[in-house]
Every structure is written in C-alpha cells, then in structure tokens.
Amino acid sequence: MEANMVLNDHRCLVNKRFLIAGGGAPEIEMSRQLGAWAKELQGMESYCVKEFAEALEVIPYTLAENAGLNPIAIVTELRNRHAQGEINAGINVRKGQITDILEENVVQPLLVSTSAITLATECVRMILKIDDIITVR
C-alpha cells in the first residue's frame, strides 16, 4: 500500500509539476482567504463560503491531533501566523510547533490539494443543489 501511495504522488508530479507547502499551510491559507471573501458576500452565499472555509480547518486540526499536539492551540496559532502574512507557516510534527514548513522541506504535490478541493466543492454543490438550498450557477 505504501508503494502505491508513492506511485500516486509521482503521478501527481508528472501531471502538474508543482510542489506547495505541507503541514496544513495551504488549507489554513485557503480558509483564511475564503473567510475574508465570505465577509464581502451576502445572504446564503456568504454563509456557504464561510462554512466551507471553516471546514478546511479540519485538515490542520486532524494533523495536529494525530501528531499528539493540542489541536485547538495549534490551529489557533497557525491561523494567527497566516493572518500576519506567514503563508508558509505549517505544523511541524517533529518539533511539535508551527514553523516555516518550506524551510523544513515539508512539501506536497499541488495536484493533491487541488484535486481534493475540487472534489469537495463538487460534492457540496451537488448536496446544496439537491436540497434546493441554493441555485448553483
């Protein structure tokens, strides 16, 4: 199974040759930017974007929890560091703290994140459309 995971990572690098920071950094940054955008929207659109942004925080929360760290404290600090402009700040599970994750060489293929976000977005849109909660454009 581990060899299969490595093979999938290599396929991701062949399809899109970009690496991004790991350690929950991209998810918390997307959450922060979506949260800011949600404040510019109104009504149901604002609510949906805000909830989607909050859902992205599950990823760094789970990473911290699985590393045996205090997930609330870690995600709060991670959120604060990103708000201060440290977009490469991520959870360093070896050190048990937030560090510049690129300096630690903790990276992931871009396609892994974009695929996950695309699938999650499509799933949410289908649920909302089926339940007639919003009209999907």
Per residue in 30-62, pLDDT (tens digit) is: 999 999 999 999 998 898 899 999 999 999 999
Q: Are 8 and 88 in contact (CB under 8 A)?
A: no
Least confident of 12-21, 32-41, 63-72: 12-21
> Helix, strand or coil for residue 7?
helix
What was the pLDDT predicted at 7? 43
Least confident of 65-74, 77-86, 111-120: 111-120
Least confident of 29-33, 42-46, 67-71, 84-88: 42-46
Exposed, middle or buried by CB within 10 Å (0-12, 13-18, 19+), for 37?
Answer: middle
Least confident of 17-26, 57-66, 128-137: 128-137
Task: Work out the mean pLDDT of the chain and round it to a whole number.
Answer: 86
The type of residue at 95 is K
Which of 64, 40, 63, 61 minimizes the C-alpha distance to 50? 40
What was the pLDDT predicted at 82? 98
**Where does the pLDDT of residue 125 fall: very low under 50, low under 70, confident under 90, or very high at 90 and above?**
confident
What was the pLDDT predicted at 45? 86
Q: Which domains does the chain carry?
A: 2-130 (1.10.560.10)
What was the pLDDT predicted at 130? 77
**Where does the pLDDT of residue 17 fall: very low under 50, low under 70, confident under 90, or very high at 90 and above?**
confident
